[in-house]
Structure 1
């Protein structure tokens, strides 16, 4: 979890939240504090607003919650604001405090504050591939490395499929790939999960010397629930996933109802591929991977 944060303090808005009828009828002023935890290095290095979260937008969203549908409890208001903040894909964790200085308490007091803290836990689809060395061992190692990642748990591991390598025209042939898909639940921002994927690749001496070159290990972030991105450094969902049988076949096998955002049902996308594309992906149950702490899937 990143130590960077954006803090918004003392945001004031009028709302009609409370248990008593008079609070709903007359309303009162609420004060909101928001702390967003996210990795700000890319934004700082590139001086790029698209690599951070616009605190002006966050302020508008928080005010809209306070001014919006009345709730009996300010706990509910704080939770709604936290959910709006976590909808920004870069946010890893959020703290929200809602102050109710005019609370109907018949005693002298300074303030009433409810504080909530929420982490973004999203389902992510990670594609694995290897065609050099001990291919199955590399995929198995990647599964365990993902499970060992802070804030991340492996929910399911697909069967293994063997696929002929894609090569550029005129390039020499390559060994076949082993491919699999891992479903993870993670509190990491997509950028942090991608950095972890690259670190796992590096541990297996992955080289990026040529496009479509052979790989000891490929760890690709295919999709993250609720997150879309046009950033060339991390495009989500993966722009070529709908065309790749070696991604769609294991994904459909582990989650038959899966949807690729913007493209449709994964199993249907697989069925729509040319026959030769689908025929080139062969399920290898003899090379099944073990999920962390469990039996082979």
Structure 2
């Protein structure tokens, strides 16, 4: 009898330990850092498919979007931040709010779908943003682009979704060199980052967008392969993003996997451990 009681007590203690650990992890994720796995190539070559990073939630303070979403399609689990903290949604404000800076790489909730996106902050509240022949103009000031060589990757399926890259050098066969022109863009204020070009397309020329107060304008660094603020959210784009939808700032890649899973350690990219995000 004593042995059974001891075993029962051990099981209870184990369950309590697991519960406490999950609670601590939940609080840590909600208040400080959120893990983020790069699923697409819209931010190449700043971020690659398979990059794993932590989002700094303290950078901009807290809103309903700071609550974690838990989405595991394989088992039908879909718990959204709105489900947990939706009562704080609607006033477009933040607790301990900080102002994002132009050029920051930011994770935010899509205004329509609620899914987490990661893009670069281009336009601040009140800015007038326009893209002409692939060049960004902010309040009439050109963001100059300096040629910076070529970005090369292998034409093959990438990441869990097995996405294939688009290439500037036309259709490329399996295993071939997929090339894109690379430029260094300088935003007003001096922030610099790399961008890629694939082809001339409609998103290279836009009307003038006036960013509303309390909202932000985002673009992907892989300019011709990004769904972003150049297209309204109701038309399968992103549109203007409310302040309260910001989740946090991405500062550093922790590690990166070129394979289908981050658990495939033999596919980890050795040159991206703790790489700063510029």
Give the number of the structure whose alpha-carbon radius of gyration is greater: 1
State the TM-score bracket (shorter-chain normalisation): under 0.3
Give the alignment's TM-score, normalised by structure 1: 0.21
Query: Higher RCO, 1 or 2 (CA under 8 Å, sep at least 6)?
Result: 2
Q: Whose helix fraction is larger, Structure 1's or Structure 2's? A: 1
Give the alignment's TM-score, normalised by structure 2: 0.22
